[in-house]
Amino acid sequence: MKSKEELRKLDVNYLFHPTVILEEHEQKGPRIIVEGNGLRVKDIDGKEYIDAFSSLWNVVIGHGQKAVAQAIMEQLNKLEYFSPFYGFAMPPAIELAAKVISLMPKEWNMGRVLFTCGGSETNDSNIKIARMYWSLKGKDQKKKIISRNCAYHGLTIGSMVATGIEYFKMHFEPLAPGFRHIMAPYCYRCELNLTYPECGIACAKALEEIIQKEGPDTVGAFIGEPVMGTGGTIPPPDEYWPMVRKICDKYDVLFIADEVVTGFGRTGKMFGCMNWNVRPDLISIAKGITSGYFPLGGAIMSNEVYETIKGGLGSIMPFLHGFTYNNHPVGCAAGLANLKIIEEQHLIQNATKMGAYLADRLKGLYDHKSVGDIRSIGLMAAVEIVKDKQTKEQIGTMPMESTHRIEDLMWEKGVYGRAMFENIAVAPPLTVTKTEIDTIVDALDSSIAQMEREML
């Protein structure tokens, strides 16, 4: 292996990084991570860190689980890949599709899985499937997609437009047409300045209003994360999803549940929608399906959607959407091994138990003058930082000044938490222990205190 100095130089000269300030990256260079075990990762200088964000919400089973590496190697040694087009299949993809469907409540009546390579590609696939569904039902106008402000659905051309955070769209115009946004169920910063529960869940009613405004015959699908992630870890009020489902049923609008973050136990249930017993028509999965051991996502459709598409296309026309790496056998072998660990190690039960402990420990942070709101569900939590609890203004003139500082201070203390706009998010692997939660919350606590001394 090359020396660390050589690697840093090569990185800066050749590797392009997503979501960094390019000039700053060239000055600072990369943080090179070389090993991982459980919640711990080690950098190239040998320093250990607790990964309190499951890397990018995805390393659900923790780092270094050898059974997944072994499953990947076994599949690679048997067959690395064969085309998924024209009806070919490999055993791990067949088994994983059946397994994923078996994990869903029967009453959802989910039918087929198309495995992809990640979340954005999956959301684009589901948007296309929703449009094809209406087209084949003879409703060619029913193509608009409704999503929400603060939503994050990925950054491909389609999923980026569904994303409701304008920051991610700058300089990438022109944007694909046919998307509309409504307000998020973000009680702490309600767009209408209403208070729960007197608000009557106006954020859910906003869906009905926009469908009526646009015309029900033009709206094909509503896409939403059961719990908004990147937008700030925003669990909705309990009434929200049942109301949304009713509105979707009333106006014949498909509900695409973006379970990319919430799928596979993150919220203390196998899928986020299970927290509110809400049935999706299409589901997007990624991240936790392989815990990052191999890139994999999946577009899941209900039997009703599948049968409509099958019947509509008939006996001559193929389903003309797909990618070279759909149903990849190595990814699917990783997925099977990953799900086995989630089940055998009772990680969802642990997420519920440790999630309650995390929520309890986080409450103590309200003593800080800059902590405006704390939100969590299962092992998905965020602490919102403000200059003033009354005005809820941000600290500093630029977005994320205080949260980036907190993230850096936590990193210096050996804990990886993630700045997301004015929030610090923590979402550790589902294997987390109480002692590890204590270390994470202590680092967050002292980092917030230090940021306040420096910036307030």
Ligand X SMILES: Cc1ncc(COP(=O)(O)O)c(C=O)c1O
Which residues lie near ligand X (CB under 6 A)? Answer: 118-120, 123, 152-154, 225, 229-230, 258, 260-261, 286
**At how many degrees (to 10) do helices 303-313 and 119-136 cross?**
60
Nearer to ligand X, 425 or 443 (CB): 425
The least distance separating ligand X from the CB of residue 364, rounded to whole angstroms, comes to 28
Residue number of the CB closest to ligand X reads: 119
Nearer to ligand X, 153 or 413 (CB): 153
Nearer to ligand X, 283 or 437 (CB): 283
Q: State how beta strands 254-258 and 219-224 pair.
A: parallel
The least distance separating ligand X from the CB of residue 154, rounded to whole angstroms, comes to 3
CA distances from 294 to 144, 333, 428 (A): 33, 9, 19
CA distance 360 to 375: 11
Beta bridge partner(s), residue 182? 148
Q: How many CB atoms lie within 10 A of CB 363?
A: 13
The least distance separating ligand X from the CB of residue 422, rounded to whole angstroms, comes to 18
CA distance 122 to 299: 5
Q: State how beta strands 371-377 and 380-385 pair.
A: antiparallel
Nearer to ligand X, 413 or 418 (CB): 418
Could you tell me which of 32, 86, 236 has the C-alpha nearest to residue 151? 236
Q: How many CB atoms lie within 10 A of CB 389?
A: 13
The least distance separating ligand X from the CB of residue 125, rounded to whole angstroms, comes to 11
CA distance 131 to 254: 10
The least distance separating ligand X from the CB of residue 240, rounded to whole angstroms, comes to 17
Contact between residue 235 and residue 379 where contact means Cβ atoms under 8 Å apart: no
CA distance 414 to 402: 18
Nearer to ligand X, 196 or 416 (CB): 416
Could you tell me which of 354, 374, 352 has the C-alpha nearest to residue 267? 352
Could you tell me which of 266, 256, 258, 227 has the C-alpha nearest to residue 56? 266
Nearer to ligand X, 425 or 441 (CB): 425
The least distance separating ligand X from the CB of residue 230, rounded to whole angstroms, comes to 5
The least distance separating ligand X from the CB of residue 157, rounded to whole angstroms, comes to 12
The least distance separating ligand X from the CB of residue 260, rounded to whole angstroms, comes to 3
Nearer to ligand X, 123 or 439 (CB): 123
Structure token digits, residue 3: 């020396």
Could you tell me which of 347, 225, 346, 230 has the C-alpha nearest to residue 278? 225
Beta bridge partner(s), residue 329? none
Helix (H) or strand (E) holding 182: strand 179-182
Nearer to ligand X, 274 or 441 (CB): 274
The least distance separating ligand X from the CB of residue 452, rounded to whole angstroms, comes to 29
CA distance 46 to 50: 13
Contact between residue 166 and residue 134 where contact means Cβ atoms under 8 Å apart: no
Nearer to ligand X, 260 or 410 (CB): 260
